[in-house]
Structure 1
């Protein structure tokens, strides 16, 4: 099972934006034009390329908090829908604080740090790997790319990988050493 709950945003949302990111993203949207809550959720999903799927349970409490603190105002239409707009206090707060949302959009075809972290986590879950296993896979890939510049480094890396592969094979066979200390581990690489 990929998600502990049916709410994908609960698993991914916080990783995508980071602390305070949703708040700034909503203010940036309202800086452009007044919007309904649903419009903001749709816009955030579109801007993230579908990586972030906001839920009403995360957006509306944030909007209430922003209104309470004077960053936005709310007007209720005849239809009963709420239209949110940024206040001068909200605009000035965007000027004073670092632009956390600018890192979200892809620049020059590359992912922002938040989007990249989210994308990587999605791949890890799809592969069914633990964080440690996936981290090791990424580390080996990076090491191979860097080692390709030098035959000596490439040979050292291949030796290191071979030794680690042997250790894992011993583990799988049930013949691993009970206490493989950090010193022994370090000696195996030198």
Structure 2
């Protein structure tokens, strides 16, 4: 997946966030997630070492407020942010491009999954038609409906298992599972569900 921040940009962006005011670690991570539309949610292992490095460089200070550690920018940090304002504009522009690319990738993945599901359903339908030609016909609509219900259950279970496996594998490999990805998946499933409901109502 396309990286959100290029090498070194995250450091300057952290300084820029603290230039807006003191923040604790979780607030910083939440701000990064919010400003990338949920496509980038950094871990504590990503943020805290960088904050410690900024502190070593004299650009950031930290203080304890109850159970929270609050980070604040120093005068030297303010000066660096001001001196690199042009770079920050470039980071903001690149950030917007990266978020759009990630959203496009996610949409493509969801579309591929839905196409695969439709292909599986079509193949199952074709197999069912072939079996129906060989099997003795039945005029009982309840029997036919139960057979189709079994096919629908099988298709739904297969799709659920495949998506669940893909999502878990992605997270296990250290990938970010953005809220926008889940929302997009939910929206697509809702859309397909509405189509099925309309078809059932005939």
Structure 1-normalised TM-score?
0.51
CA RMSD across the alignment = 2.8
Computing the radius of gyration from Cα coordinates, the structure with the larger value is: 2
Shift of 1:52: 0.9
Structure 2, unmatched stretches of 5+, are 113-202
Q: C-alpha distance in 2, partners of 1:126/1:16?
A: 20
In the TM superposition, residue 99 of structure 1 has moved relative to its aligned partner by 4.2
CA offset digits 1:55-83 (Å, max 9, x no partner): 11111111111111111111112x23211
Cα distance in 2 for residues equivalent to 1:93 and 1:21: 13
Partner residue of 2:51? 63
The equivalent position to 1:90 in structure 2, one of 71, 77, 92, is 77
C-alpha distance in 2 between matches for 1:58 and 1:25 = 13
1:22 CA drift (Å) = 1.5
CA gap of 1:118–1:53, structure 2 versus 1, over 3 A, is same
Mapping of 1:1-190 within 5 angstroms? 15-77=3-65, 79-103=66-90, 112-123=96-107, 125-126=109-110
Asked which structure has the greater RCO (Cα within 8 Å, sep 6+), the reply is 2
Greater than 4 Å deviation, 4+ residue runs: 98-101, 103-106, 123-128
Q: TM-score, normalised by structure 2?
A: 0.48
Query: Which structure features the higher share of helix residues?
Result: 2
| Shift, 1:93, TM fit | 0.9
